[in-house]
Amino acid sequence: MRLKKLFAAVPAIALAAGLGACDNGLTDLNGNPNAPEEVPPANLLANAIVTSAGSDYGSHGVWYGLYLTNIWSQQAAQVKYNDEDRYTPRPAQLSGVWNNFYAGPLRDLAQVKKYAVDAGPGADNLAAVAEILSQMNFQYLTDTYGDVPYSQALLLDSGVTSPKYDAQKDVYYGMLARLTAASAALEPGENTGGWASGDVLYDGDVQHWRKFANSLRMRMAMRLSEADPVKARAEFVAAYTAGGFTSNADNAVIRWSGEQPSQNPLYDYYYNQDRYDFVISAAMVDSMASLHDPRLPIYADVAKDDTYRGLKNGSLPADFGKNVPDYSSIGEYFLAADAPSVLQSYAEVLFLQAEAAARGWIAADAEALYRAGVRASLEQYGIGSSEAQAYAASLPYNGRPSIAFQKWLALYMNGPEGWAEVRRTGYPLLTPARGAQLPTRLIYPNEEQIVNNANWQSAVTASGGTSVFDKVWWDR
Amino acid sequence: MRRTRWLAAALVAVALSPLSLLAQANAVVAGTVTNAQGGPENGVMVRIERLNVGTTTAQNGTYRLVIPAARVGASASVAVSASRQGLATVTRNVTLTPGAELTQNFVLAASAVELQGLVVTALGITREERSIPNAVQQVSGDELSRSEPNIVASLSGKVSGVNITTAGAQGGSSRIVIRGPSSLTGNNQPLFVVDGVPIDNGSPRLEGYGGRDYGNGAQDINPSDVESISVLKGPNAAALYGSRAANGAIIITTKSGRGTGGRSQVTVSQYGTLEDALRLPSFQNAFGQGLNGQFEYVDGNGGGTYDDYDESWGPPLDGRAIPQYNSPVVGGVRQATPWVANPDNVSSFFDRAYTLTTDASFATSTDRANVRLSVARMDQDAMMPGQKLGRTSVGLNGGIDVSSRLRATTSVQYVGSDGRNRPGIGYDETNPLGQFIWFGRQVDMQDLRQNYRNQRPEDDSQAGMPYSWNYSFHPNPYFLQMSNQNQDSRDRLIGNVALNYEFTDWLSAMARVGTDWYSDDRKVTYAALNYGVGAFNPMTLDTDAVGSNGAFGFQQIGFQETNADFLVNAKPYVSDAFSLVATLGGNQRKVRRQETYTYVSDLVVPGIYSTSNALNTPTDEDYLTRRQINSLYGQAELGYNDYLFVTLTGRNDWSSTLPEDNNSYFYPSVSGALVFTDAVPSLDMGGALTYGKLRASWARVGNDAQPYQLRATYLKQDPFNGIPTFTVPGTLPNDQLRPEETTSIEVGTELRFFDDRIGLDLSYYNSTTRDQIMPVQVSRSSGYASRIVNAGTVRNRGVEVLLNATPVEKGDFRWETTVSWAKNSNRVVSLAEGTDGLLLGSFWGLNIEARRGQPYGSLVGYEYQRDSQGRIVVDEAGLPTANPTVTVLGNYQPDWSGSLTNTFGYKGLSLKVLLDTKQGGSIYSTTHMWGTYAGVLDETAAGRCSLDDTYDNLPACTAATGIVVPGVRVTEAGDTVTNDIVTDAQNYWASLYGLHEAHVFDASFVKLRELTLGYDVPGSMTRRFGLSRMNVALIGRNLALWAKAPHIDPETAFDASNVQGLEFAQMPTARSIGLSVSVTP
């Protein structure tokens, strides 16, 4: 080869490489081939509903359900490694609930709401449903942690990296206002974006959603009965007038098919992971046994000696007696692969109304509502109406303590609501596993001290939160 | 773009200017180079440094050096030197005259010390050591341990300032970090380059809850093919490689056929070593399984007395009769059998292990061509039962002078590696060692070994289940290892083809295409009737959902990285005093990685691990990543009188992973070297100082992002009742990313005294990485776990000392010693605005974090609650309590590291001893936490008593029989008093669960890393066997350990990621002893 030709070739190679460097193909190469940039909002909605309840730290999952709220409301007891039952939850749990709701369903719902806003007025129902579910999840958060980020939450894409904590009172006022607005915005018939296909609660039935919104609003309003009775009453009456659940057919239920991977999380924990660390509590079994409650065979299985025996919460290993088969397991009804996760039931709504009547907020017969609530609960578990009727009629009634007690029984395996109501009403009179009181909140996640220190500091200063025995505002 | 044109123009100018010099009368120096025995030496570099001319000797040892007249002038007295790696340089002064030819012959003697050798630097450019302005340490292939198959691990103790850790399992990953971690969340390991082509050194990320360690990419390199390894420390040395070498570069040069002196050379070597555990935990043998001093086996799952508990708080092992898992069942009643200790039940779990390596090479060369072909096979039968590892390597390295100007070279390495039954890592049932920390100390391991294939008979409470000691948590460890099979195999090809054209003796161009391609197949199966193993994780092939008929998963990884380079080298004559070497190059790097997974959670028929036998629809996943970087770079080395050198480099990268407006980044470096003993000869300290050099450099290196961090995508989740679901991923991407930046300075000196009897190399460096691209944690209440940002600054500064000395050289006896010492001071200067900590990883509540103001890698967890005087505060039960605020309990980086190598030679006999140490640093031993919680470790034997005297097998607790925790307690009245409350061991150790401080230990250690006793059989003997050379050696590795941490080898980790300082039930370090025989016919 001629030398000069080669010399000429060298800068040509250099230039070619240089041009290649400016090629737009370089940027295109960075389009992610593995995941979509757009998905139908219905698929986000479905995920948000399922993870609200059925993820590990969801309201009906293992770590927020079994490990915390089911045992802290003494529905269940921990038969092995019972740190939580002795009120020393593990660090992952302290943060898991927080992380699950905020960076899980609430984030997906925020994305759905954003989609609905972009889609315009035609997507009102989608927006309203996402809003109702968001407020439901915020209530789990604030009932668990007290003051929590609310007004500045979920705004990272707008640049809010460290949201301030809102006082629980403001959170409650906000939730009630948004729930009310969302309930009013629901329009029968309209179905933009095909959202109904992802509505795993009500299959796009707007009437049901309105009843659910009103029922949730009653739940929230009643929570303020001691802390802010005027607001509580006004909100309750408005929600009651607007109309909540009127039968068990209205219940907000996630119905797991039971086929992999759509299995109740407790089934997965007990049978796929072989963990039998929880049995029914002695408090629950003893209460039900004395009343000959027909739900007992559903709530619990017999122990190996064919009797129903609950475990006393917080037993030290030495007190365990022996082992798992010595106690009654949580009933197969709740541990089946297709066991339903009931977010809110007709029975709960009746108990709420009974209490409102007993408080004189609404003009209704408190005792009748109380007995109707018991009956609705039994019927929810498939107990025949005559038997349910008879049992409901046989119960003593002495006002709010009776209502709270039966509500506690009816809320079995709905840990978050069970725990919140035990704290609010003080009934039933449960014996703490150690010390003088049941845990009344979770401490904030340790990570908040790192990533949101100033706001965490003000929240702790304002309302506590370094001990599980601090009380949230509505519980003071 | 403007920069590109400028570089191109400069190249043309450089290329064209000296053309006029070609046509005048030349001077010639010619001659022969021979070895001490008089044989010809080919491939020897003969150079006149001052005139920048050089050539290599032909097969018959002759050379001919033509010097253009213009460079000679009227006549010139110059130094001609002959050198080759491995041989001492010889220099002679001659006087050149234009038009005249003179003869200069050289005799080269073998030299052990390569102080004046050539060093392979970035891009494979060989530079003379004296001109190199930064710390480069070269390790020859001969120095690599033959008893360590992983080339990264074998560098331990050989290079100053590097920190090497090896994950536990045999065949697992080794991690190497040079001069401390600089990237908060990215890769902190250096770039690996084989024969000029970058290779993948990836390794699996294992979080300590299962998954298998398939090793790090570079371990595929066959150590016996390695000619030399150059360790380029830090960005200064590696500026030319660009971003990937921001953490330094490991440049591996494979052996070639050059230097066989025209002969054909065959070498066959055989290495065989036996391995056993260097250190196992110390277990107690006084108490067996159970709780509260009680135990009785019925069904191993809670049917008896604490028979589901995998803890050893049971009855004393005093021979009493207790029904046990292996007691005979007579008439449906399990008989009571003697309750006795099995002290060796953990040590006897392991298999006898060996490693056998055979390699053979053939090398030959002519004056125009050379070739080397090697074949090697390594077989390892690991300590872990059923685990086997193998590696077949074939290496080809050849070069041919196509014409007098055009040379073609190629190097190809094929590696086929295979593994069987690699154990799972960490706290997971797939790691059988985990159940020895949760164990019944009375369990008879040999009974488990003999029966693991058996099922429980009909009359047993666990009829039909696989034979085990426990049915609540743990299948038989042999069942886990042998019945759950896994296999992996990797085919890998690393190769390049290069053409080098010499336009003139001062200008050449090279074009090279190199690729690293591999295909990895991994399959993991779970036998029927598994229990205790927990949902299938496709990334780790672990499972939580094994169907009753078994489950399996397989994974295929296809990887290819192709680098195409061109490089133009010019060494134009500038003047007698000044020299210039200029290099200009370009590179295109393309990387593609595809992973596919298939998993099946239950089978129709047990034992057939095929998708056609799947009970449910198999689940498939795949993932593809692609990235590309285009680069242009240049380097100019200016020399003055052969003692002062200034080097400038510049590189511009265009990366696919950055936003279009920010995807171009330029990084420069400037550096200098001064051989001051040549510049000012009077500085020789009266002749004591033979050689003295100062070096200094400054460099800035950019870095790009990982792929797909710019735009948001949705993440698919499990469908719900057939309805597809998606979620918003936890990390918010960022389309405004900028390249990150590392700035580094380095100064150093190399001094040699008393005719090179003592050599000292000192370096100081200070390196800062800013604007790092990383996910930074945000409050989850923002809706996300993290967001991708440019933030954070990490600084590393440190000192490295390397001292070589030959204290004795007398007759045939020679003693050489090398001491290396390095101290790196690392600090996380800043993190993303508003954050003080960045979580890197977590294990049982202990976080590994980057904390602002602390060194990278803080261990953060709970400490003891202490009073103002520092005394531990106990609770009403006399048990220690934890301070509710988490604190920094330690840091995984050592304070300093060092090594001492002594080599003694007498005639053919040599002895080499390498001691290696790291001092400081901490490790969180979860083995200690759970091993004390479960009552298996020896410290738990003391203080076993019955608190309220309720357990008949234990004495009542008193100050003598129980434990009184030294500390204070606060009375109900609020007074602080000395603790006098007696507690028992079971409660005491349980109270330390989650109290991380009790399990964080000083990770300092000293290891007897290598010992080699070698003998070169004298020629008079070898010739009788028809051999020209024969070497036999006793080789040993990891022979002894002195550590402060109890029970474990603190030099361990779950993986080679940035999350270090954690361990649980690690595979013990292999101590190996063996023999090597190497013959050359």
What pLDDT does residue B1020 have?
84
Q: End-to-end alpha-carbon separation of chain A, Å?
A: 93
pLDDT at B476 over 50: yes
User: What does the pLDDT average to over B692-704?
Assistant: 91
Q: Identify the pLDDT of residue A347.
A: 98
- When comparing pLDDT for B766 and B241, which is higher? B766
Q: Burial-class residue B416 by CB neighbours within 10 Å (0-12, 13-18, 19+).
A: middle
What's the rounded mean pLDDT across residues B1044-1053? 95
Residue type, B958: T
Instruction: Give residues with Cβ within 8 angstroms of A227, minimum separation 6.
Output: A169, A473, A474, A475, A476
**Chain centroid, CA A167 distance in Å:** 20
Write out pLDDT tens, residues A262-279: 999 999 888 877 677 899
Q: Which of A10, A197, A268 comes nearest B15 by C-beta?
A: A10
Q: How confident is the model at residue B1070 (pLDDT cuts 50, 70, 90)?
A: very high
In the predicted model, what is the mean pLDDT of residues B549-563?
92
| Contacts with B, A 312-351, CB within 8 Å | 317-318, 322-325
Q: For A163-189, what is the mean pLDDT? A: 95
Q: Which two tokens stand for residue A339?
A: 């066991």
What's residue A320's pLDDT? 57
- Report which of residues A230 and B112 the model is more confident about: A230
**Is the pLDDT assigned to residue A18 strictly greater than 70?**
no
Banded pLDDT at A400 (limits 50, 70, 90): very high
Q: What pLDDT, on the 0 to 100 scale, is given for residue A323?
A: 55
Q: Is there a contact between A317 and B292 if contact means CB atoms under 8 Å apart? A: yes
| Mean pLDDT, chain B, whole residue set | 88
Residue A34: its chain B contacts at CB < 8 A? 622-624, 708, 713
Distance CA B381, CA B390 (A): 9
More confident residue, B7 or B236: B236
**Average pLDDT of the segment spanning B162-172:** 83
Partners of residue B548 in chain A, C-beta under 8 Å: none
For a pLDDT cut of 70, what percent of chain B falls above it?
Answer: 93
Confidence of residue B947 (pLDDT cuts 50, 70, 90): confident
Which of the pair, A365 or B112, is modelled with greater confidence? A365
Q: How far from each other are the two terminal CA atoms of chain B, in whole angstroms?
A: 58
Three-state helix/strand/coil letters over B186-224 = CCCCCEEEECCEEECCCCCCCCCEEEECCCCHHHHCCHH
In a 10 Å sphere around its CB, with 0-12 CB exposed, 13-18 middle and 19+ buried, how is residue B810 labelled? exposed
Inter-chain residue contact A162 with B1, CB threshold 8 Å: no
B721/A43 Cβ within 8 A = no
Q: Is the dihedral of CA A195, A200, A205, A211 positive or negative?
A: negative
pLDDT at A10 (0 to 100)? 43
Confidence of residue B279 (pLDDT cuts 50, 70, 90): very high
Q: Is the per-residue pLDDT at B874 higher than 60?
A: yes
Question: What's the average model confidence in pLDDT over B237-252?
Answer: 82
DSSP B703-769: E-PPTT-SS---EEEEEETTEEEEE--SEE--TT---EEEEEEEEEEEEEETTTTEEEEEEEEEEEE
Closest approach of B749 to chain A, Cα-based (Å): 37
Is the pLDDT higher at A2 or at B175?
B175
pLDDT over 60 at B533, yes or no: no
Alpha helix stretches (DSSP H) within A120-205 = 124-145, 168-185
Q: Does residue B111 surpass a pLDDT of 70? A: no
Q: What is the mean pLDDT of residues B622-640?
A: 93
**Average of per-residue pLDDT across B384-390:** 95
- Given a cut of 90, whether residue B19 has pLDDT beyond it is no
List the single range of B398-402, B958-962, B970-974 with lowest mean pLDDT: B970-974
B205: its two tokens: 């990320």
Q: How far is A289 from chain B (nearest CA, A)?
A: 25
pLDDT tens for each residue of B773-802: 988 889 999 999 999 999 999 999 999 999
- Asked if A110's CB is within 8 angstroms of B783's CB, the reply is yes
State whether A155 and B783 contact (CB < 8 Å): yes
Q: Are B1046 and B928 in contact (CB under 8 A)?
A: yes
Q: 3-class secondary structure for A69-106?
A: HHHHCCCEEECCCCCHHHCCCCHHHHHHHHHHHHHHHH
Mean per-residue pLDDT, B948-952: 75
Tokens of B982: 């007696």
pLDDT of residue B1043 exceeding 90, the answer is yes
Amino acid at residue number B78: V
Question: What values do phi and psi take at B697, rounded to 5?
Answer: -155, 160
- Residue B969 bridge partners (DSSP): B874, B977
Beta strands in B527-577 (DSSP E): 551-570
Can you give the pLDDT at residue B623?
A: 92
CA distance B745 to B1031: 44
Q: What DSSP state is assigned to residue A61?
A: S
Q: Rounded to whole angstroms, how far apart are CA atoms A276 and A286?
A: 21
The rounded distance, in Å, linking the Cα atoms of B43 and B912 is 30
Return the higher-pLDDT residue of A324 and B13: A324
Name the strand (E) or helix (H) holding B646.
Answer: strand B644-655
Q: Is there a cis peptide before residue A428, judged by omega within 30 degrees of 0?
A: yes
3-state SS assignment for residue B484? coil
Residues B328-339: tens digit of each pLDDT: 999 889 999 999
pLDDT at position A90 is 79
pTM: 0.82
Task: Map residue A50 onto helix, strand or coil.
Answer: helix
β pairing state of B369-381 and B388-401: antiparallel
Percent of chain A scoring above 70 in pLDDT: 92
Report d(CA B749, CA B824) in Å as an integer: 18
- Residue B26 is predicted with a pLDDT of 81
- Is B483 part of the contact surface with chain A (CB cutoff 8 Å)? no
The region of weakest confidence among A10-19, A238-247, B161-170, B1023-1032 is: A10-19
For chain A positions 84-113, those within 8 Å of chain B (CB to CB) are: 90-92, 95, 98-99, 102-104, 106-108, 110-111
pLDDT band for position B112 (cuts 50, 70, 90): very low
Any idea which of A125-139, A410-424, B85-99 has the lowest mean pLDDT?
A: B85-99
Residues of chain B contacting A159 with CB distance shorter than 8 Å: none
Average pLDDT of the segment spanning B199-205: 89
Taking residue A50's Cβ as centre, other Cβ atoms within 10 Å add up to 27
- pLDDT(B239) > 50: yes
Residue B1039 vs residue B756, higher pLDDT: B1039
| Of B537 and B859, more confident | B859
Task: Select from B588, B730, B783 the Cβ nearest to the Cβ of A20.
Answer: B588
Cα–Cα distance, B366 to B264 (Å, whole number): 9
Question: Which of helix, strand or coil describes residue A261?
Answer: coil
Cβ proximity of B960 and B877 under 8 Å = no
Are the beta carbons of A266 and A56 closer than 8 angstroms? no
Residue B744 pairs in a beta bridge with B699, B767
CA–CA gap between residue A239 and residue A249 (Å, rounded): 19
Per-window interface: B 35-94 vs A, CB < 8 A:
none
Cβ atoms A101, A140 nearer than 8 A: yes
Average confidence (pLDDT) over A273-298: 92
CA distances from B377 to A39, B415, B670, B767 (A): 51, 10, 45, 42
| Most confident region among A235-244, B172-181, B877-886 by mean pLDDT | A235-244
Q: Mean pLDDT score of chain A, rounded to an integer?
A: 90
**Contact flag B663-A26 (C-beta cutoff 8 Å):** yes
Are B185 and B480 spatial neighbours (Cβ–Cβ below 8 Å)? no
Give the best residue of A56, A161, A201 to mutate against chain B (max B CB count within 10 A).
A161
Which of B44, B59, B60 has the alpha carbon at shortest distance from B111?
B44
Give residue B1019's pLDDT: 82
